[in-house]
Structure 1
Amino acid sequence: MTPDQEKAENWWQTEIIEMEPGSIRFRGYAIQDLIGTIGFVEMIWLMLRGDLPTPAQAELLGAALVAGVDHGPQAPSIAIARMAMTCGIGINSAMASAVNVLGDVHGGAGEQALAFYESILARAEGDIPAAAKAAVAEALAAGTQIGGFGHRFHPIDPRAPKLLALVDAAAAAGTVSGRLATVARAVEAALEDAKGRKIPMNIDGATAVIFGELGFPAPLCRGLFILSRSVGVLAHAFEQSQQGGRNKGPLPKGWRWTYTGNPQRTPE
């Protein structure tokens, strides 16, 4: 190998994939040994974590991914995918349009929730409820949104209790520690005390517990949510392509937005 070739081959370095003619290995595993042997959830874990999960770990991760698949056309990402398809673009572009709006406000709450939980654990010193109460009080005083709690559509998000029950079962089986579930519940209780009403945990708060309990760092919460929601985006984009329609906007034909500018006027 010449020095220039060595320099070129060292330009990108990865522990994820090794490939040469006739051979593809992911994290050391030959692709032909993985095909038909592991499922897609296990493959996600392998790619992100470097090794294969236990069946119990894969089951818990899969539950979180199933829970976030879709929330209907009232969700901006889904609505955007459907509108994009009526503009005559390809399904890949419609999916990309949807994914591109999954940011801090729509799609990022899980990442924010896990970071918040972890900050509470770091300061808890054995008293999680007190640490949660202090963290919630500080966040509210600063006007900071506490991600993972409350839902604009569901009084109680039906996905969250089931996900937490699965975490409890996994903790009882020794698959996870259950500490982040304890933190999340302490945050929920602290919010209720501070607000005077219950603000239930939502799917973002619950999936953040699962991702964190399984050892995923907070920034990956958003990516994992996007993987999950992309399934719903794909389904809606394809369905819209079958229904047809051209240039469908956010409002039905004949409906108008509210204009709040100057009344009609003419130049002097």
Structure 2
Amino acid sequence: MPAFPTSLGTSTADEIRLLGQDLTADLMGKVGFGELAFWLVALRRPTPSETRVFEAVLVALADHGFTPTAIAARLTYLSAPDSLQGALAAGLLGGGSRFLGVTEDCGTFLHEALEGRELPADEAGWDAVALDVLRGAKTKYIPGLGHPVHKVQDPRTPVLIGIAREEGLEGPHLRLFEAIGRVHEQVLGRKLPLNGAGVCGAALADLGLPVELLRGFALLARAAGLLGQLAEERRRPIGMDAYLTVDRNAVYVEP
């Protein structure tokens, strides 16, 4: 018989094992969901400090109001209330370069910028690296800079940086991101805030998680937020009003 190796979950008639642990005896009631999500990807159990930073990221990304992802989920639920999974999927499919995907884009940008570089010893050194990175960027669009709502400061950014610092996990990705926040005006000619999705990407990269999977963690967090949005749509629906507002105000124009 062929063999299909896995380090994740296996089952027999009387036992379920996950990550080499007995699911019922070793994990249920003893491991939090955030800790387990980290463990499933990294294949190592996170430290308490890593768990705190990781779960702070999940909380930061769970919900941000009537974003396109939330609206898409609510309108899909309006159209197909028999398909909760479809409504959740519709919201998750909107996690791209403008919403949610910035987490991965920023983490990847920082990771690539750090490759092959000697890490500075002080803030001035990080500022110099940030200036070099910004001047060498192929585009003036820097992932993690700017926010459509928080024009001065994203309230999540200083809090998450502070948590990482408290836990001794303010690594090179966060240090470079902070430096970009200090010096980018010299290169771009305008002052922009470091957005929450970007700082989440930097924090996740500093935890050693694969930058190619960072969008998945953003989607994991947003799945909880979307479920909350759909629960509220059931309690206090706005989907029909949103649809009718657009439909009744549609104006034909010659192509």
- What number of residue pairs does the alignment pair up? 247
1:84 aligns with 2:76: yes
Any idea what SS the aligned residue of 1:70 has?
coil
| Structure 1 residue 124: Cα displacement | 3.0
| Structure 1 residue 72: Cα displacement | 0.9
**Distance in 2 between the 1:152 and 1:104 partners?**
13
- Matched with 1:165 is 162
| Structure 1 residue 114: Cα displacement | 0.9
**Distance in 1 between the 2:103 and 2:210 partners?**
11
**Distance in 1 between the 2:165 and 2:148 partners?**
26
1:22 aligns with 2:22: no
User: CA RMSD for the aligned pairs?
Assistant: 2.1
Unaligned runs of 5+ in 2: 121-125
Percent identical across equivalent pairs?
27
| Structure 1 residue 254: Cα displacement | 6.5
CA contact (8 A) 1:124 1:130 kept: no
**Distance in 2 between the 1:83 and 1:246 partners?**
5
TM-score (norm 2): 0.88
**Distance in 1 between the 2:187 and 2:208 partners?**
30
**Distance in 1 between the 2:250 and 2:149 partners?**
22
Any idea what SS the aligned residue of 2:30 has?
coil
**Distance in 1 between the 2:139 and 2:253 partners?**
28
Any idea what SS the aligned residue of 1:137 has?
helix
| Structure 1 residue 13: Cα displacement | 2.9
**Distance in 2 between the 1:169 and 1:256 partners?**
51
Deviation per residue, 1:115-155 (Å, 9 max, x gap): 1111222243345433321221232xx33521111101112
Unaligned runs of 5+ in 1: 1-5, 263-268
- Matched with 1:265 is none
1:198 aligns with 2:191: yes
**Distance in 2 between the 1:257 and 1:228 partners?**
34
**Distance in 1 between the 2:127 and 2:254 partners?**
49
CA contact (8 A) 2:119 2:172 kept: no
- Matched with 2:130 is 132
Q: Find 1:154's aligned residue among 119, 142, 150.
A: 150
**Distance in 1 between the 2:15 and 2:33 partners?**
20
**Distance in 2 between the 1:223 and 1:108 partners?**
9
**Distance in 2 between the 1:104 and 1:254 partners?**
27
Deviation per residue, 1:65-105 (Å, 9 max, x gap): 111111111x1100011111111332211101111111233
Deviation per residue, 1:188-244 (Å, 9 max, x gap): 223221123321111112101210111111122100000111111001112112335
**Distance in 2 between the 1:37 and 1:102 partners?**
31
**Distance in 2 between the 1:166 and 1:180 partners?**
15
- Matched with 1:185 is 178
- Matched with 1:213 is 206
Q: Are the structure 2 counterparts of residues 146 and 259 from structure 1 closer, same or farther at C-alpha, using a change threshold of 3 Å? A: farther
Q: Residue type of the partner of 2:77? A: M
Larger radius of gyration: 1
1:229 aligns with 2:198: no
TM-score (norm 1): 0.84
Q: Residue type of the partner of 1:153? A: V
1:64 aligns with 2:57: yes
**Distance in 1 between the 2:110 and 2:246 partners?**
45
Q: Are the structure 2 counterparts of residues 194 and 16 from structure 1 closer, same or farther at C-alpha, using a change threshold of 3 Å? A: same
**Distance in 1 between the 2:119 and 2:227 partners?**
45
